[in-house]
A and B are shown apart, each in its own frame.
Chain A
């Protein structure tokens, strides 16, 4: 029976129409493997079938498909054809990825007559959903594993300093002698810092595990990081009697500023931790087209058998069982993982008993692209008055606050007081003299001019100063003029104040005493 016979019968035509309405492709082959009927979806499922028309055999179907390149085959085309033909009439299901990215399910349904019905179903959406669920499950499992590891590590390493802390607190409560109390407090401080380090390191590991750290690569001056790490560790190194030196660099590098700082912080912390005598030197040198930052220490060094494992998580070399502050075995693991994220190479050279050199290598950057300034550029950072110390003597708290806010916005370092007594105390105790003084004329029964005179006598020399007053009485202005001081009338105009302060500091010749502005 041919397919035309079906179409000639009105009822059968209706059935064919119904089959055409289906999204699944349906192809019905007879026992002699000739196509009896195929709906529209089947015939249009593959570009290669268009040349076959509506009369073809299962063998034609398989051969055309195999050689079309439209589906991804698990075997060679010839093998696949042979296999498919040999399995004719068996009930089975298989999935194929199509060249256009879809996934098609081939359902083979055996007919009683010995024929075969092939159902083609687009399962792309279902597969995508399945993949997403698999990913989510894997992420959840990783997250669970991370959490468990985090908790195991926390449980293990936090217990020790916590129990120490508990004992120390108890002892401290009992202790009467001040010196012992101080020792105990110092020991408590160490325990707390161990816990801080541990939590910080675990958090970093957790973030790395969760894939939450995404590098933000930019071009910057390496010296910025050296400066920050130097500030961070100088005290600690000094306390341990070590010399910590950063060799000045002018290198421009390409990296993630925060992550590179984290890497170097870990390397420097390790170097200080494992060095008892001597010091730590951080410097960099050119290496091909890159820059290699090296952290040298004169510490214990690393024995050959440990070298391959020092970057493993929680791996520690137990140099000294009685060490008060041992490492956590996480620092170098973090270094290596962060370096991996950045594509930087980490290296280590060490001689046991002589010290170690840890290094990290990164690309050199273009100095024009270097990012050195804060994102917000303001007068506070770069104005003409930035960092200039000024003393404000104003007994009205509201006015004093307003003045402080204004001056700080312009970059001044402001010390504000309300009385002569406080002002003299500032002069006596401050490490540096103010570069400028702004004094109110009426100060709780005293005159600003007199207060300024006493301040300058106490400071042992002239300090540029100006008077502010709400009183415009000519007698008062004359008195201020007689004292050789310039004056501003309240409410003060910020631009005028600014010009006067500039003149007092930089162009004193243009300042006129007493003339109210």
Chain B
């Protein structure tokens, strides 16, 4: 690698079950790097992206890929989407090298790891809010629908089903913890069921017994969620259905079909439907084709641009071992908020994670929006219904609601 270039690594699942998302993470980073280089790079040095496949995203695979990027490619930073499974094991490799690592793991665990030794993990950043905020945000969203009269819940009860992965359990617990403060009660659960799972009839029967006003399933596999929704739709009740992340994927819409119309989903990082977001979407599709997904690629795209600005302000990047320079970059990342195509990345000074709006901060210019969508039709089009000022469409009562 030439001295006049800056190698930036990326830990992406290019094979395995998350390869579709991995491909988009790669495209997002590529587009950002192309734009940065077109403008002259970082202080005149071209950025060279290096991708390492994390396969099934196990701890061993992710840690080995991180080590490879650092030892063989001497990367100055690693910027990527999420890697489920390693439980932040890769942080150790990154911390040993003293480089910048920006991920979208969406894990509350990040807060604790960073805060357990801020000096060691100075370079570790999570560019989206932790999964914990899904729970807090959902309760506020439901209360907003109720308090503004858009929806009159049949009761104050919420039924919560969780998949068996930590991500799902944390979200389910967070929903349960926040509910009481807003006048909701937990009628069922949080029930942790072993996943993957395609058979939900028994669970649906059990949870319907409490006559819930809301049913929340925090498992996140698109296919399993589609099965859940189809089975609920066979004999529905007057409840809103909230499904976690996987329900945003086209695969969910394809499998759930008509039964999905009215389902609520949300994302703590998503592409905005304003001018900034739409222009990015257009560039992304032009560059990578109509079958690509800017909604996922936007994450790495945002984070890469933010890194480039911070590194430029800090006077350049630093390779493995150059802790002095990398600390300057880390400081600039915290000091300078970045309003990108998915809202604002404003790193919390202690968590080193993006702060969510409106779940934690009330100023949209200082937080990454937690976006709420409703499946609008059988093709899976998602209507962005909250929060203001980002919402562009209105909530409607689902078809199964009587």
Contacts and interface: CB of A to CB of B under 8 A. Distances in A.
- The answer to whether A binds B is yes
B375 interface: no
A378 interface: yes
Given A221-B182, A250-B183, A384-B166, A379 B109 contact: yes
B402 interface: no
**Which secondary structure characterizes the binding site on chain B?**
helix
A496 B144 CA distance: 41
A194 to B, nearest CB: 34
Interface in B318-370: 350-351, 358-360, 362
B136 A223 contact: no
B147 A509 contact: no
Interface string B84-111: 0011110000000000000000001101
A502 B166 contact: yes
B76 to A, nearest CB: 25
B316 interface: no
B194 interface: yes
Nearest to A218: B362
Interface stretch (B168-176, B233-241, B255-263, B285-293): B168-176
Contact of B181 (A223, A368, A380, A386): A223
Interface centre among A369, A377, A378, A498 (most CB of B within 10 A): A377
Given A383-B108, A384-B166, A495-B86, A367 B182 contact: yes
A507 B108 CA distance: 20
B132 interface: yes
A422 B169 CA distance: 32
B86 A377 contact: no
A378 B181 contact: no
B358 A369 contact: yes
A250 B184 CA distance: 8
A498 B87 contact: yes
A384 B362 contact: no
Interface string A356-388: 000000000001111111001111101110100
Contact of A224 (B89, B174, B181): B181
Contact of A383 (B89, B170, B180, B360): B170
B226 interface: no
Nearest to B137: A368
A3 interface: no
B212 to A, nearest CB: 16
Contact of A249 (B59, B183, B192): B183
Contacts, number: 95
Given A370-B140, A377-B111, A502-B166, A495 B182 contact: no
A249 to B, nearest CB: 7
Contact of A377 (B132, B180, B362, B387): B132
Interface in A383-410: 383-384, 386, 409-410
Contacts of B180: 223
Given A378-B111, A382-B170, A250 B144 contact: no
Contacts of A499: 59, 87
Interface in A486-500: 495-496, 498-499
Nearest to B162: A506
A144 interface: no
A382 B143 contact: no
A370 B144 CA distance: 11
A382 B192 contact: no
A377 B130 contact: yes
A372 B137 CA distance: 11
Contacts of B194: 506-507, 509
A384 B132 contact: no
Nearest to B156: A250
Contacts of B143: 250, 252, 367
Contacts of B359: 373
Which bucket holds chain A's interface residue count?
20 to 34
Nearest to A496: B59
Contact of B87 (A372, A386, A495): A495
A382 B112 contact: no
B73 interface: no
A221 B166 CA distance: 28
A369 B156 CA distance: 21
Interface in B122-149: 130, 132, 135-136, 140, 143-144, 146-147
Contacts of B109: 379, 383
A469 to B, nearest CB: 21
Contacts of A498: 87
Interface residues of B, number: 44
B358 A382 contact: no
B177 interface: yes
A379 B359 CA distance: 17
A374 to B, nearest CB: 11
A250 B387 CA distance: 20
Interface string B155-191: 0100000001010011001100110111110000000
B116 interface: yes
A376 B360 CA distance: 11
Contacts of B112: 378-380, 383, 409-410
A506 B147 contact: no
A184 B109 CA distance: 52
A378 B111 CA distance: 6
A384 B170 contact: yes
B231 interface: no
A128 interface: no
A366 B178 CA distance: 16
A379 B173 contact: no
A248 interface: yes
Contacts of B116: 409
A440 B162 CA distance: 32
A224 B140 CA distance: 15
Nearest to A250: B183
A506 B181 contact: no
Interface in B168-224: 169-170, 173-174, 177-178, 180-184, 192, 194
A370 B182 CA distance: 10
Nearest to B163: A506
Contact of A223 (B87, B183, B362): B183
A223 B185 CA distance: 13
B173 A368 contact: no
Contacts of A379: 108-109, 111-112
Interface in A404-453: 409-410
A507 B164 CA distance: 6
B14 to A, nearest CB: 23
B74 to A, nearest CB: 26
B115 interface: yes
A384 B135 CA distance: 13
Contacts of A386: 173
Given A377-B130, A377-B351, A382 B173 contact: yes
B113 to A, nearest CB: 9
Given A250-B183, A378-B108, A507-B194, 19 more contacts: A249-B183, A250-B143, A250-B156, A367-B140, A367-B182, A368-B144, A370-B182, A371-B362, A373-B136, A377-B111, A378-B115, A379-B111, A380-B112, A382-B173, A383-B108, A383-B109, A386-B173, A409-B116, A499-B87
Interface of A: 219, 221, 223-224, 248-250, 252, 367-373, 376-380, 382-384, 386, 409-410, 495-496, 498-499, 502, 506-507, 509
Q: What 7 pairs across the A-B complex have the smallest Cβ distances?
A: A250-B183, A384-B169, A495-B87, A506-B164, A382-B132, A384-B166, A368-B358
6 contacts: A250-B156, A377-B108, A495-B87, A495-B89, A506-B164, A506-B169
Interface of B: 59, 86-89, 108-109, 111-112, 115-116, 130, 132, 135-136, 140, 143-144, 146-147, 156, 164, 166, 169-170, 173-174, 177-178, 180-184, 192, 194, 350-351, 358-360, 362, 387-388
